[in-house]
Structure 1
Amino acid sequence: MPGPGRHPLLPSERPVRFVEADGTLTDGAADRLPDGARLLAAYRAMVAGRRFDQQATALAKQGQLAVYPSAHGQEACQIAAALALREDDWLFPTYRDCVAVAARGVDPVETLTLMRGDWHCGYDPVRWRTAPQATPLATQAPHAVGVGHAARLRGEPTVALVLIGDGATSEGDFHEALNFAAVFRSPVVFLIQNNGFAISVPLERQSAAPSLAYKGIGYGIPSEQVDGNDAAALLAVLDRAVARARAGEGPTLVEAHTYRMDPHSSADDPSRYRDPAVTESWVARDPLARLEAYLRGAGLLSDAEAADAARVAEERAADLRERLVRSAPPEAGELFRHVRSGGSAQLTEQAALLAAETVLEEGR
């Protein structure tokens, strides 16, 4: 939290951290930690999330998915975001947030439907209170603000949490969403997963701010920055932000400093723009290993409990693999059937071109 003498809208000078990379606690963290049961739940969810991510990455390499943007290294952000919300709250994810979507309870196969190239998101957004994963950067931010504002007008205690990347903060939708949320005190939490790159564009080419969390003050939004690989700190910071929103105190902007260990997507080659030595340095800050080290050191996680978490995660991955491979692939022609009523000359031409290419490919 901002120190003495700092403006209340400003974030802490350094990212909030409770657990060091080796699993030991920082000074003063013991009194602010989420309880042990909650941290154990986060651990189990992160184990399952990482195995899900690994399985999805493998399915993309096998041609079962059209594309998959891995969240490896960002699991603490994804799981903390899901756990900070109640069932009647709303999550607004991006294309990289499959782990968060699955953590909301969405069937893993339905979670990956979009990544297969289907025309729909795969799951019922209203049932799961989870918006379709947004591929265009930051377009879901105004949607989250609108849902939050509507809930406030109806007197409902709903909170909307929107996940965005650092690249999305360079888009106009992000700034418009912040301004609207601040003016109308919309119950929204903006969680920036700052992994240092907007695909290949480094953060220093996007922003000259001390950190992205400082962008909140220009809109009158209290902000915080947090170690995005520290699940305990993330839960504490997001819990406070969600509680503020639910109490009618308006939005909060949270920046989580993290790193994606894998390529931007299965179609990316990060060696063209990232220093492998820097990537390797983040291995020691692994969010799952860090939480596990703390839990074991605190006597909250036994070998048997860790093995059980791994077993459950493996069973879920096997079920995902079997059901997704067995399911029928999306019909490419459906892409053109739900764009507009009556179609258009351009859509007809594109559909014919796809049909011709499909016949040609099948004949090879």
Structure 2
Amino acid sequence: MCRHVANDGFGPPITGGGEGSSLPETGAYDTDQYMLAMIFHARMRRHECLTADPAAATAVYVPFYAGFDLALNQDNGDLTARDALSRDMVDWLVRRAEWRAMGGRDHFLLLGRPTWDFLRDPSTGWGNVLMTYPAVRNMTVLTLEASPWHGNDFAVPYPSHFHPSSDAEVVAWQSRMRGLDRQWLWCFAGASRPSGKRTVRAQIIEQCGRSSRCAMLGKAAAPAPGSYAPGQAMRLLESADFCLQPRGDSYTRKSTFDAILAGCIPVFFHPVSAYLQYTWYLPRDYRSYSVFIHHGDVVGRNASIEEVLAKIPPAKVAQMREEVIRLIPTVMYRDPAAKGMKFKDAVDVAVERVVDRVAKRRRAAAEGREWQDSVDGDYSWKYDLLEDGQKEIGPHEFDQYVAT
């Protein structure tokens, strides 16, 4: 993993765009999806509103690399030892004066992995227990994938491979995405899994293999164990109108944000893969930028993916692609040393939302009450989808897909 921590977590630069790559000459990196804690920390160290005075702080960032700790200790059968660093960090944190001011309700941290890695399941033994501590439950926790049934974790985008240093680079990238000749109707970047044929992924590979309008990149995207060829993958995603996004190792996958960066319209098969996750980043109207096909219809072979996509009128496809391209700046992570950029990137969006959440909690505390912008339990995900000013939850079209 040592190569991946270079350049503040961006990893090694892809010089010359890489072999067969469509990535730019500068700002392209072989970024590992689990380096986000370092990337985020690098931005926070240089944040224009950073203060060394805790009393003046609107919010307090905790730079704890929980994902690295987990990667080092996951195979340790001694659970006490596996949880030791997280426990020590929490014990240290709650003794600090900054913490006592609001009991941690103004603190936030980014974990750089899915929430599930920090809510150890006794039945599987996977992960550690960081997010089960009451102190952490008081904080705002940013993760690559949040739980629809908890109230204090919020999903931020996986890092992709282009990290611009100026507004001009962003505009040039967006312009190029608009002008590309996309020769494929749909594509899939991902390898098969040994879980059998009755999965969405297996059906995608089977249907794509039979189609003259679909392209795939599987083992070619990973020429060696543990490696990944981002230039080849990005070139594929940029060549298609629609990029299919089945569940990865969990509900979400990095390829979703590679596809958005490539101006490719994502196709999802479960609402938790995007619509219940990235509510700070993606439009509430998911039909404006994506296609949703029920995973049960695909697994049951009741739906032809290609027929669904081919029926979408060209004008609608163009409209959706433009919406995807509009989203590009807010789902990328810019160079932390860049100055004067007007585009808001994923860090800017996250910090704004955290500050807003803390401000609401602080006002409520001053009035002697607890601000609750979300709840734990079956309907937590519904609160994240409420419109501004809306307080009551009710039936939702995703009810049939989301169960505890």
TM bin, normalised by shorter chain, reads under 0.3
TM-score, L = length of structure 1: 0.25
The structure with the greater share of residues assigned to helix is 1
TM-score, L = length of structure 2: 0.23
